[in-house]
Amino acid sequence: TSATSSPRDGRSSESEDERRDSLVDFATIDPLSLQHKPDEKLMEVARSVVRAKGVGACGPRGFYGTTVEHLDLEKAISEFLGTEAAIVYSHHTVSDSSVIQAFITNNDFAIVHKDANAHMCTGLNLSRVKNITWWSGDIDELAKLVEAQSKDVKLAARAGRLWILMDSNYGVDLSQVVEIKEEFGAYLLLDDTYGIGAVGENGRGYCEYYGVPCSSVDLLIGSLEHAFGSQGG
């Protein structure tokens, strides 16, 4: 079952100042107020699924907890973003850490934005990657780092891959980052938790905002708990 929410302006009836003026809360993780003011069409879809399937699978996805609804959701996300595939985790906070430790190894090289979120840092620790360089966010600095480390990767005794890891909400021009990573054969992991569903003409996040196909990002992290008012990542 599918449903489309009506346009949202992000205003919440609870966010009013002392003069009773309506305000927009930019500090929330619910920018479209789907948690404070859920869309009735979406609520009815949720109710119908709960009535038919129950409230959960009572088991991990990798064991016996995957349902047809999970697979349909992943297919819908993949088609919406134009990516090869998608996988949904139980909570957005484990998405970064789970994906990073699954794809990045201790032989790889990682260039990481200095303001990387805590979940990304947890994933790096779990991956045991040894070669980490912190990047200030300056695009010229990134180009120099990627060029230099692409040579180090080739010279390494056990050659790995070169990764760029960053959040989307720090004002870095994503189109320039993609150009750099493609020039030197690097891989890009982008956490667009605050972008997907809220940024871009059709809600496809910062990739759409900067005119970059989502498929040009090797690992794209999103959240169902922010612009979608649900749970998972």
Neighbours of 97 (CB within 10 A): 20
Residue 91 has pLDDT above 90, yes or no: no
Residue 50 has pLDDT above 50, yes or no: yes
Residue 6 has pLDDT above 60, yes or no: no
Between 131 and 5, the more confident residue is 131
Axis-axis angle for helices 118-127, 92-103 (nearest 10)? 30
> Could you tell me the CA-to-CA distances from 182 to 23, 79, 187 in Å, in that order?
42, 23, 8
Give the largest Cα separation in the chain, rounded: 66
pLDDT per residue as tens digits for the range 124-172 = 888 898 888 999 999 999 999 999 988 877 766 566 899 999 998 888 9
Answer whether 94's CB lies under 8 Å from 223's CB.
no
Q: What percent of the chain has pLDDT over 70?
A: 85
Q: Does 141 fall in a domain?
A: yes
Q: What percent of the chain has pLDDT over 90?
A: 36
- What is the CATH classification number for the domain harbouring 210? 3.40.640.10
Both 73 and 149 in one domain: the answer is no
Tell me the pLDDT of the chain averaged across its residues: 83
pLDDT per residue as tens digits for the range 196-231 = 988 899 989 999 999 999 999 999 999 888 878 788
Reported pTM: 0.85
pLDDT per residue as tens digits for the range 33-42 = 777 777 788 8
Total domains in the chain come to 2
Q: Give the residue from 60, 81, 102 where a domain finishes.
A: 81
Predicted local confidence at residue 180, as pLDDT: 94
- Is residue 87 classed as helix, strand or coil in its secondary structure? coil
Between 43 and 213, the more confident residue is 213
Q: Give the residue from 55, 81, 107 where a domain finishes.
A: 81
Arithmetic mean of pLDDT, 50-78:
84
Axis-axis angle for helices 139-155, 174-184 (nearest 10)? 20
Positive or negative, the CA dihedral 131, 133, 134, 138 is negative
Q: Which helix (H) or strand (E) holds 43?
A: helix 40-53
Which letter does DSSP use for residue 14 in this model?
E
Predicted local confidence at residue 157, as pLDDT: 53
Both 99 and 72 in one domain: the answer is no
Predicted local confidence at residue 179, as pLDDT: 96
Q: Give the residue from 34, 53, 81 where a domain finishes.
A: 81
For residues 44-55, one letter each, b for 16 or more C-beta atoms within 10 angstroms of the residue's C-beta and e for the rest, the string is eeeeeeeeeeee
Q: Does 229 fall in a domain?
A: no
In terms of residue numbers, what domain contains 177?
A: 92-221
